[in-house]
Amino acid sequence: MKLQKTNLADQAYTALHEMLLAGKHFMPGDKISVEDLARQLGVSRSPVWNAIARLEADGIVEVWPRHGVFFVGFDKARLMDILQTREVLEGAAARLAAEKISPEEVQDLRASIAAQRAAVAGNAREAYAAEVARFHKMMAEASGNKVMVEIIERLWARTTAMCIRPDLRPALMDERVDEHARMVEAVARGDGDTAEREIRAHIRRIAQSLTGA
């Protein structure tokens, strides 16, 4: 993938963000060669280093002086901190969504549930993972709180970076989709208490499956 010579820093950031979280090029803890990335993207090292600095701020990479750049490694304690924060924020977002959501947003969320079920039925794990990420983003956006959405997206990226290959057994995926569906219906009927309770319990189950805690 070669980049155009406009907004190279932004393009490099977007390309590297997608590359790292795709789970096809790097695994948690891998060393990242800036020179190789610059060559792959067809740019100098400057925009790549700019992108690395932004990714470090996002918590997706770590830069160790005299050692190099590393894709963030799995850290159980840090992951638990991230998931506990997500639980609070996504719970609050669900409560706000129950107050503000539009009929069109409810329709989009229900369509996402259908897409998730189709992916599970077809054992399409990558499609399922992508749809789940989109679903959580839509749930956050339905809150109408842009700052909350931005923070949740960053925390989601950190979770994904540490857990590139999560447990995606069909039975577990079915359970997760059922949990998502309950969130949507709670939000759709304006029941903020239930919506918040459902999503917080959902994230606690995710934490247990990822960390055993």
147-202 pLDDT per residue, tens: 999 999 999 999 988 887 655 677 788 999 999 999 999 999 999 999 999 999 99
102 three-state secondary structure: coil
For residue 96, which of 145, 155, 151 has the smallest C-alpha distance? 145
4 three-state secondary structure: coil
Amino acid in the structure at residue 135: F
Domain spanning 76-211: CATH 3.30.200.20: no
pLDDT single digits (tens) 101-137 = 999 999 999 999 999 999 999 988 888 988 999 999 9
Q: How many residues does the chain have?
A: 213
Average of per-residue pLDDT across 49-64: 91
Q: Which fold has domain 8-71?
A: Arc Repressor Mutant, subunit A (1.10.10)
User: Phi/psi at 26 (nearest 5 deg)?
Assistant: -135, 150
Q: Give the pLDDT of residue 166.
A: 56
Q: Where are the domains of the chain?
A: 8-71, 76-211
Answer yes or no: is pLDDT of 53 > 70: yes
pLDDT single digits (tens) 5-45 = 557 888 889 998 888 888 778 888 899 999 998 898 888 88
Q: Are the C-beta atoms of 161 and 20 separated by less than 8 Å? A: yes
User: How far separated are the first and last CA of the chain, in Å rounded?
Assistant: 40
